[in-house]
Structure formats: structure tokens, C-alpha cells
Chain A
Amino acid sequence: MTKITSRKELEQYRKNLQKQKGSKNITISVCAGTGCLALKAQEVVDNFREEIKKHKLSANVEVKEAGCPGFCEKGALVVIHPEEINYIKVQPEDVAEIVSETIVKKKVIPRLLYTDPHSTKPIKKESDIPFYKHQKRILLGNNMKIDSKNIDDYILYGGYSALAKALFDMKPEEVLEEVKKSNLRGRGGGGFPTGRKWETTRNAQSDKKYVIVNCDEGDPGAFMDRALMEGNPHLVLEGLMIGGYAIGANEGFVYVRQEYPLAVENTEIAIKKLEELGLLGKNILGSGFDFTITVHRGAGAFVSGESSALMSAIEGRVGEPRPKYIHTAVSGLWNKPTCLNNVETWANVPLIINNGAAWFQKIGTENSKGTKIFSLVGKVNNTGLVEVPMGTTLREIIYTIGGGVPNGKKFKAVQTGGPSGGCLPEKYLDLPVDFDELYKVGSMMGSGGMIVMDEDTCMVDIARYFVNFLSQESCGKCIPCREGLRHMLRILNDLTTGEATEDDVKLLEELSEVVQLSSLCALGQSAPNPVLSTLQYFRDEYQAHINGECPAKVCKGLLTFTIDAAKCTGCGLCMKNCPVEAITGEKKTVHHINSDICIKCGNCYEVCKFNAVQKATGKQKKVVSVERR
């Protein structure tokens, strides 16, 4: 590769790419994100390459391994441009037909289209699918157009023009001013104004400064950072470089969790390609700006996503938070001023520089600007990544885009903000989602996890789930967090087996307050949120558990399984699926469950085709508390 040494050469390079592109007029984009790869996307790609060769279409058709557009549940996804024909759930076997029918004969294959469950009409174009149509995908929009391993794709769509603009048309102060004016707030959880953070690091006196991308994404149930880092790494890196220039840092780090091997790989490839082109290293584009980027893999610790902990981890030490009397923005990595931002935060930067702060200001609400990517999962029809302007209501996200709750079940709650967020009930469905509105009702934005729960979800169990998660992830440095969470978990466990009293719940509330007020880092400070919000909105469920009942029939200690003699046909399916041989009965006679042996796994309930297995709740005389430790 020849080096690009000036802004003019970059533009020339882009023009050449456009010219080359002109000759290939059909593009088959296959999502090669982790979700689709899990659904055989690689085989789909390989088959396409082979079929295209077989049909001698290589001169005209390009096969692209693209990034995740967010609709992973419907993978493997294939989009054929320019018509934008969107095929879902494509299997390797379907490929030959797609090439001979759609590519050669220009005929659409209805079987592979997305069918709208409401109108039951198949939809041909990607942008007409309700899941995409109601989104505003300024960050994720290019994922399906770009091969994330190919820097040319990014450059073709205008990549690194924002960097060139910053380096040549703007002073560092002006870049900083533009980001400040945009009112961009950090997407990593706290919503701290990005420009202000940059300014602090910029103004700190030091010979050396650092910038870091936080791609730890420790929140269970969230994968937007993964989709961006895997699908469009250059967007994030360009943002980082612009930030480095504005702040006065010449060294950047990308901290990626090792559980995301593809994100690590794609980021490393992106960095290598940049170095080859001369867009990283000394004197970038002849501007005099030097910059290097290093990838650092996290080794699996939720608390290491916290800023001061993350910096310890990069230094090769245990990733525990430290007191922040002095902010990491002033004294961070190796005690040098360090600016850490989330993946999505950095990804917004090139867009702001290219389009201007005024453009960004127009998207979103009064105090939360731009779009936010949510990971919409749980009991919702269309699960996936959803990018919408700040201020979009929960109802629009869950119903219009998400298609509502499946199987005719009733919506119960939506949990936002990850382990440190809260659960919101139905009455808040019309709440416009932004940093401040969520906070007002006892939840938070967090990294953007959005978990939908239906009538089959037990809110006490959910609170227990999060407290269990956080007590395991606490680094153990402060007593309130370590011991407080452990004790809260004990009470929640007791609730799920019907052994807790009203006093226990009072103690739970008190402990919540103590842990909130006296922990060192935000893990402890926010850990009680799921408990407090479920107590606030679903107190009746706590009461029911005290009375020995689990209304959603989830908590094992409060369940009994029996077989209804009138319905049982004696097919024996339940017996076959019982892991502990608790079921007895001869073929074609009524079966029976021995509740002393039953471990309440629910297999029999699920497999019985005659609804003969009954699930009941209510405190038993002899409680087998499976979950208790």
C-alpha cells in the first residue's frame, strides 16, 4: 500500500475507490457479526462467493462481509444492493437459489422476506421493515454497507474526512469547542458532558496525555459497543484520533473485553491498515499530528469497566477502582491526564465534526442530544439493537419498533440501565427516554440495555438476579458493598423461598440506603437500584412472597408440580424428560409426581402436550431451597 501523506491524496484515494466501485453494480452484503456467524453466516458468504464464480458474475457482483445492523435474531441477514432486497434467516442451502433467481433473473424469493406479523405482508426493502423504519441510524446505518476488515469501504463512504477537517480546518480548541457546543453526553452510563471531560484533560499540565476507548461492555444483556467495534471500528478510531488532537494526546488505547474476540480482531486489523496507509504514526496527512493506538484486552471483571479500575488494568495491575479525589481526567494512566470515553461516545465525534454541532443539536431532547443505541432484549418480538433519537418513548421502542410482547402475554416491566438501573412498570410506557427522564423515575440510561419482561417474569427474582450478579462482581474493597450486597442477597434468597418476613424487607431497604451512600465506586453506589425500583413499583410481589406465593410462578422454592389425572393420557413424555426420576406411571395410565424428589425444573410442564402438568404456587410444608447457598 502506498502511503497517504496529505489531505489531497486522501481525497484522490477516495475518488479512485469511487471509480473502481462504479464497475461493480450489484453488492450482496452478508452480516458477519457474531450473532449471524452463530447462525452460519460464514457458510452463507462462502457459498455466495462460489456461486458467483460459477455463474461467471464476478466482474459485476461484489460479496461483502458486513457488520451487524442489529436485527441479529433474524440472521443470517443478506441485503442485495442497489435494490436493497432484504433476506432474513438465510441458510447456506438458500444461496444457490438466491443467485439464480434474484441475481440472475431479478426475481424476489418471497419465502426469504421479512413478513410483517400485523399486516402479514412480506416486505422487500430493508428500509421498509418496521424494525428499521422507525429508527434513526446515524451510527449503525453504515454497518451493513461496510466490510469492517476493509479500510477502503470506510474511506469510500467519507471516512477520515472528519479527521482531515479537524487537522486542517480547525485548531484543537475549535474541535473542543464544537464538541462542547454539540452537548454530547457520555454513552458509558453516567451521561457526563463529553466536551467538559475533554477540556479538563486538555487543560491539565503534563508532558504526556492519553485517550482511551472503553469497550469493556460489562453489562449483561447489552451488545451495542460490540456491534460498533466489530462492524465499524474505523468510526470509533477516527473519533479517538480527533479527540487526541483536540486534547493534546498522542497515544490512544482501546480496552476490549476478551470475550469479544471478533471485536479484538477487527480493531487490530483496522489499526494495522491505518498504519500501512500512514493514517497512524508520525505526521498524519502531513499535518504534524502524531498518534498511535494500542489494543488492550480485558480479562473478565465487570468492575474493571470503571474508569480508574480500567486504567489500573491497562497498567498491568488488578483492575480495582481507587478513590477519585483527583479525577482520572487529570491524573489517570501512569498518573498522566487521561480521557476515557465509551465506544458509542467516540463514534459520535466524526459525525459531529463533519456535520457540525448545530446538526447534532437538532436530534434529541433539550438536555440529551443525538441518538442512543438500545439493546432491546427479553420478552419482545423483535429483539436486537435499536438506534433512536433521545426522547423516543418506551412505547415506541418496545411496541412500534420491537413489535410488542410475544405470545399474547402481558407486558409487566422494562429494565433499563443494566445491573445498576431500575425496572419501570406499564404506567411509564409513554416516558420519553433520555438521561434525565429515566433518572427521575428511579432508573437510568446506563449503557442502554433494555430488557422487556412479561407476566412470567418475577420481579423479586429479577432483583435477586442483579444483586447476585453485583455481589459476585464487587471487587470487595469496601465493606458496605461487599458485606451489604451479600446480606441483601441473603434476604432476597429467603424471599424466593418464602422464608422472609416484613422485617427482612425493611432491613433490605435500610441496607440499600447504606450501600448506596457509603460505597466507593459506582458499582456499590448503584447496586441497590434494582431492589429499590422493584420495591417502589412492584411491592405487592414482595408481599406475595412473604405470604409464600410467587405470582409469576418462577421462584422454585414456592412451586409445586402435579399431574391432573383428568388430562393425563399416560404418554410418558414427562417421565422421559424428568432429570431426577420423580415421575412414575405405566404407559397409558395416569402419571404421578413425587414432590419429595422433584427439583422443580419445569421440564414436565413444558413438554406435556395435553396441559396435564399443573404448576401451583404457595408455601410448602417442606421447602427444598434449591437456590440457597
Chain B
Amino acid sequence: MLYQETGQFITDYRLDKRFFRLKQERWAFAALLACAFLLVPAIGNDYWFSAILIPFLVLSLAGLGLNLLTGYAGQLSLGSAAFMAVGAFATYNFHLRVEGLPLLASLILGGLTAGGVGLLFGLPSLRIKGFYLIVSTLAAQFFVLWVFTNFSWFSNHSSSGVITAPRLQLLGIDLNSPVGRYLLTLTVVLALGLLAKTIVSGELGRKWMAVRDMDTAAAVIGISVPKTKLLAFAISSFYLGIAGALWAFTYLGTVEPHGFDLSRSFQILFIIIIGGMGSILGSFLGAAFIVLFPILLSNVSSGLLAGAIDPGQLENFQKMMFGALIIFFLIKEPNGLAQVWLTLKQRLRVWPLRF
């Protein structure tokens, strides 16, 4: 009933290739954007912005980056956090060392640097396949963090290794309030999200999926596998780099290597497992889940059990729940929350009938 496509005729290719083919979907998306840009800043409080919305948006972007590489191009990576770190530190250094460079330009340069580093660590993928490839991404993870911890030049010789992000300013508008940081993050994530959608529905996305499904077959039909793989690494790392810079600048307000350790990489991997591999929407759903679930869990435990469990045990319990959930999703719904959403949509389309 809600999703009826009767009367909506697609008469040329341009219409067929739109992101949202149904009128209802376009309206819903426009309404969502209006809410995010107008309603939320008007009614949200600082806790919502700083503790929920900004980390959700940044983690979505990171999930999106890994999804491009793992979900679409089929290259398993355990080094996502390293590329985030590169993005954060590069953005910081561009901002610090180039006089008068606008914030947006340093952000993009930071992302491009991360993309370059990603390309470099993607080079072994030309020769190494499958699981053996995780050695290269883990090498990136440990090496990059080591560089940032050991060479103080990157953190501007700060004695503690922790540096404060500069004031955020864009086109003369001060963005230091939680709302300002939220809007900046939202804009960047929206732009990159739409770009990702364009990429994956275009020629490059098709090539990625061909390589993912079987790279030998892809090579046989004339796809340049090396180029395709390297582009996946570069673009994915670009996304992760921007996400890292936003994580440091708009969420934490500090730039430090330890926020980007291996557990962060795992967290991003879990986002795409729970959200859905090879789905743009899935990255957002997965990130929402990862951000909200621990908050829910701690609220439930403090509400119901009134602090009867000690915090260490709670953390253990949370860890086990995450592990169990991942296994549950892999067994019951390998395509993640995105697939749940699609199923719901299909139900709505045929409602009140079943098929």
C-alpha cells in the first residue's frame, strides 16, 4: 500500500538509473534530509550531537569506506583504522603547516594522502590473494601507528603525543559548537555517500563486483584486475581517511594514534557485517547499531539491575554479546540489517497480500 509503483512509468534510461526510483522513496529521503538538516539542529541537545549523532555519522563513513573495499571489491582488510589515522594526521599537518589553507581543502588533502597510503598497501593484492592479503592490511595497521607514535614530527613535537585539533572554521562560519560540528559532519557524509552510490552503480562498481565474485573470470572478460583492485584500495582509503579526520576533528577534538588501534578496525568490520556487506545503506544501519547498542545495554543494566553488575563484568558481557550477534547475523542474515530492511519493504509493497 505504502510502496505502490502503479502509475510510475519509467520511460528512459535516465529515469531508470535514478538512485530512488519510486516517488515515495524520493519523498522519504527528502523528508529525512530535511529532518537531519533543519529539525534535528533545532530540537537536539548537546549530548545527542556529541555522543550519538556525530560518532554515528563518522562511523557510517568509515563503514562505507570499508564496504567499498570488502563488500564491493571483495578484499578483506583489517587495517581500516590505520587509514583513518593517516587521514587524521595528514589533515592536521596540512592545516598546521600550510598557511591559510581552508579547512575543507586540508580535509580533502588528508583524504587523498590516506588514499595514497592505501594504494601503497594495496599493491601486494596484485600478487597475493584471499586470506594471505590480511598480512598486508595488518602490516599497515601496525606500521602506521608505529610511525605516528615514534616520530613526533607528525604530532608537531607535542610531548604527550596527543594534540588538540584546531578551531573549525568554514567560509568564515565558526563551527565549534556541537551543532556546527554536526552539520559539517553531516554535509561531508552526505556528499561522500552520494558519491559512493554513484561509484557503485556505475562502471567501476560493476568491475569491483566482478572481481569480488571471481577475479579470474573478471580477467577473462577483459577487466583489468590490478587497476580495479588498486582503485578499490585507494578510494576506500580516501573515505576512511576523511572519516578519520572527522573522528579527530569533529568528534574527539584531539588527534592521537591510540584511538586508531586494531580494535577500531574490528569495530568497522563489525559495522559492515551487521549492517550488510555490499550495501551503502548497510554501512549506516551497522554504524547506528554499533553506536546505539552499547548505550542501550548500559542503560538497561543500570535501570533494571541498578548497578548490581560491576563495570568490568559489564564490559565482558558486552563483548560477548557483540561476538554472539556477529555469529547470529552471519548464520541467520548474512546480508545484514540492509537485507532486513529490503524484506520489510517488499512486505509493504505487497501488503495486505503475502506474495
Pair from one complex: no
